[in-house]
Amino acid sequence: MAKAAEAARQTKKEKEPALKGTLASVFLLGFFIIFSWVSVYFLFLHRL
Amino acid sequence: MAQPLEKVDRRDAKLALAHLFVAFTALALGGFAGLLQTLVRSGKFELPAGISYYTILTTHGVLLGLVLTTFFIIGFQFAAVSRTTGALSDGSRRTGWVGFWLMTIGTAMSAFFILTGKASVLYTFYAPLQAHAGFYIGLALVVVGSWVSGFAMFAHYARWRKTHRGQVSPLLAFMSVTNMVLWLVCTLGVAATVVFQLIPWSLGLTDRVNVLLSRTLFWYFGHPLVYFWLLPAYMVWYAVIPKVIGGKMFSDSLARLAFILFLLFSIPVGFHHQLLEPGISPFWKYVQVVLTFMVIIPSLMTAFAMFATFESYGRSQGATGLFGWLRKLPWSDARFFAPFVGMLFFIPAGTGGIINASHQLNQVVHNTIWVTGHFHLTVATTVVLTFFGASYWLIPHLTGRVMTKAMNRLAIIQTIVWAVGMTFMSGSMHFAGLLGAPRRSAFSTYGNSPQALEWIPYQIAQAVGGTILFIGIILILVIVINLAFFAPKGETEFPVAEAAAPYERAALALENWKLWIGLVVALILIAYTVPIIDIIQNAPPGSKGYKLW
Ligand code: HEM
Ligand SMILES: [Cu+2]
């Protein structure tokens, strides 16, 4: 029983696509958001 | 290949096409108004015959922000529902036509009062600016018409569920229903201010109006409005684009969950448009800003799902390296290219939204032309390019024609023209806004103040961008007219993607409408009850109406 489940997990793992590019893309997206936000935040502080 | 294509029923196709026809007519007229605005604001051109800048701006905002979007969306959704859950019943279809005519008559009525200069109150129609009552009555008809169509979709969906017990509904139908639930709940606010405040006041039945209440009810509607625009674009991204590129949807359940989160978190957040409004307590602004930031979750889920769909497909085609999959995408297919460029523009667009909603940063950009730059990225690029991309298969599918290679090439050019024009126009709007240039203002040098003179180069860049964009409008109209009337006869596919995993139990649990609508109502009550009571109880004397044009 446990073995079967383990085997199923194994095959599922194999089918899982490698999404390295997706990971890199979402990180780039995140950095862009943070960079833009911080830029306007500094503009705000500068004008206080 | 030998299988016949699954098609939208011919009678439903007519209903959808009628909506698209009004939408593209609005695009033609509204686009021309947009061109005039950028020319006026460059300082090099004046409107002839004493036409007011604000008449043109109202025409533009109403036709593009309200009419183009609502008509396209309802037409698209009727087609999507009919394609995935079968032909509408005669009753539902007739109801759909009633909705269409109510909306069309309402639009014509409002347009009449705008164009005759009796309603230059901009598309947000803030009190105490006061338009002719006919303008508000026309808008009310548009809203009621959209409700009637929404009910036609609900009835059709309910009938499908009854005959398919225990089955997960098709994704596009589920998404259309989610979007119409969102619309129904949020338009209650704008209907309330129009029917109970603005119409009696413009008819002279009441003398004064509670300005803050009417603005609050407007923004209770105004923010979900932008999600009502965006969700149909997401429908295309999630449920159509994977098929167009030849791949599979990354996850059906993820798409449904994202839609439910949008439904929950896009309504109780209107105060982020009123952050600088006196009369609303900072605590409730804070609560709604927190809820606003919750919308980032389904937005980033969507970004992830898109990247994952593209990468999975590219790798299945043998792509290697970190970004090799990008090269495998069908760049020369306008059905993919236009929405893809729309997605790219959503990166700065969404980022700008996070900035707008942050209370301190909002003080930097509030009511500047930055905001106009922002929503020309969101609605006027991301959403509109996706709608254009959908039209490239939807219109020929509905009219029984095929898009020629030449038209596809023109559509690629159209997309590039739009992207270039918008980069100029929206980019310079963003920078001018950071320098303090106001939105919704005709040209002025403000007595040659040095600050205002700084804005002028950006305003000229906006006119350059606006001119390029207007070329884009002409191109899309050429393509649409070709697809509707002149393209060769034939069969075009309405692409609907399959999920990578065949059956996900989670999807069934997500169809619990009682739960979702209950949560929606609960969140709205939490976010709005106390501040609205406060706005009514502690109101200053109401305002008389002003006609300042
Ligand atoms: C030819 C393309 C376009 C041009 C040149 C253009 C230009 C402009 C300009 C210059 C303004 C702001 C002026 C001001 O605040 O004084 C504006 C406002 C606006 N535009 Fe566009 N636009 C275009 C397309 C679109 C599209 C496709 C949409 C919607 C789908 C749209 C929706 C709006 C809305 C809602 C406003 C706000 C009106 C207001 O503040 O009352 N525009 N547009
Ligand atoms: Cu908003």
Whole-angstrom Cα Rg for chain B: 23
Count of structural domains within chain B:
1
- B34 in Cβ contact with B375 (< 8 Å): no
**What ipTM was predicted for this assembly?**
0.89
The answer on pLDDT for A1 being more than 60 is no
Asked if residue B544 belongs to a domain, the reply is: no
- Radius of gyration (C-alpha) of chain A in whole angstroms: 22
Please indicate, yes or no, if residue B166 is contained in any of the structural domains: yes
Mean pLDDT score, A6-23: 63
Q: Is B501 on the interface with A (CB under 8 A)?
A: no
Selecting from B304, B360, B364 the residue whose C-beta is nearest the C-beta of A22 gives: B304
CATH number at residue B91: 1.20.210.10
Which residues, 6 or more positions from B97, have their beta carbon under 8 angstroms from its beta carbon?
B15, B18
Distance of CA B425 from the midpoint of ligand 2 (Å): 21
Chain B contact for A33 (CB, 8 A cutoff): yes
Which segments within B62-154 are labelled E, that is strand? none
**SS3 state of residue A27:** helix
Is the dihedral angle over the CA atoms B232, B233, B236, B238 positive or is it negative? negative
- On whether residue B4 sits in a domain, the answer given is no
Non-local CB neighbours of B499 within 8 Å, separated by 6+ positions:
B171, B248, B249, B251, B252
Determine the length of chain B.
549
Is B397 one of the catalytic residues?
A: no
Compute the distance from residue B224 Cα to the ligand 2 centre, in Å: 7
| Residue (of B517, B448, B408) closest to B181 by Cα position | B517
**Which of B343, B344, B361 to probe the A interface (max A CBs under 10 A)?**
B361
pLDDT in tens, chain B (549 residues): 345 678 899 999 999 999 999 999 999 999 999 999 999 998 888 888 889 999 999 999 999 999 999 999 999 999 999 999 999 999 999 999 999 999 999 999 999 999 999 999 999 999 999 999 999 999 999 999 999 999 999 999 999 999 998 888 999 999 999 999 999 999 999 999 999 999 999 999 999 999 999 999 999 999 999 999 999 999 999 999 999 999 989 889 999 999 999 999 999 999 999 999 999 999 999 999 999 999 999 999 999 999 999 999 999 898 888 899 999 999 999 999 999 999 999 999 999 999 999 999 999 999 999 999 999 999 999 999 999 999 999 999 999 999 999 999 999 999 999 999 999 999 999 999 999 999 999 988 899 999 999 999 999 999 999 999 999 999 999 999 999 999 999 999 999 998 877 666 777 888 889 999 999 999 999 999 999 999 999 988 999 999 887
Residue B279 gets the label, from left (phi > 0), alpha (psi -120 to 50) or beta, of left
Ligand 1 atom at minimal distance to the Cα of residue B53: 16
* CB pair distance less than 8 Å for A33 and B351: yes
Q: Is residue B291 domain-resident?
A: yes
Please choose, from the candidates A33, A36, A19, A42, the residue with its C-alpha nearest in 3D space to the C-alpha of residue B251.
Answer: A19
Structural tokens at position B49: 């015959």
3-state class of B52 per DSSP?
Answer: coil
Structural domain range at position B59: 10-537
Task: Determine whether the interchain pair B311/A19 forms a contact, defined as Cβ–Cβ distance below 8 Å.
Answer: yes
SS3 content of chain B, % helix, strand, coil (to 5): 75, 0, 25
Residue B549 within any structural domain of the chain: no
Residues of chain B contacting residue A20, judged by C-beta atoms under 8 Å apart: 322
Say whether B312 and A17 touch across the interface (CB within 8 A): yes
The residue among B297, B391, B384, B283 whose CA lies nearest residue B341 is B384
Q: Please report the pLDDT score of residue A16 as a whole number.
A: 60
Domain contains B246: yes
Q: How far is the CA of B272 from the centre of ligand 2 (A)?
A: 6
| pLDDT at A13 (0 to 100) | 46
**φ/ψ of residue B168, rounded to 5:** -75, 135
Inside any domain, residue B345: yes
Ligand 1 binding residues, C-beta < 6 A: B 31, 34-35, 37-38, 57, 60-61, 64-65, 68-69, 122-123, 372, 376, 379-380, 384, 439-441, 466, 469-470, 473
Residue B198 lies in a domain: yes
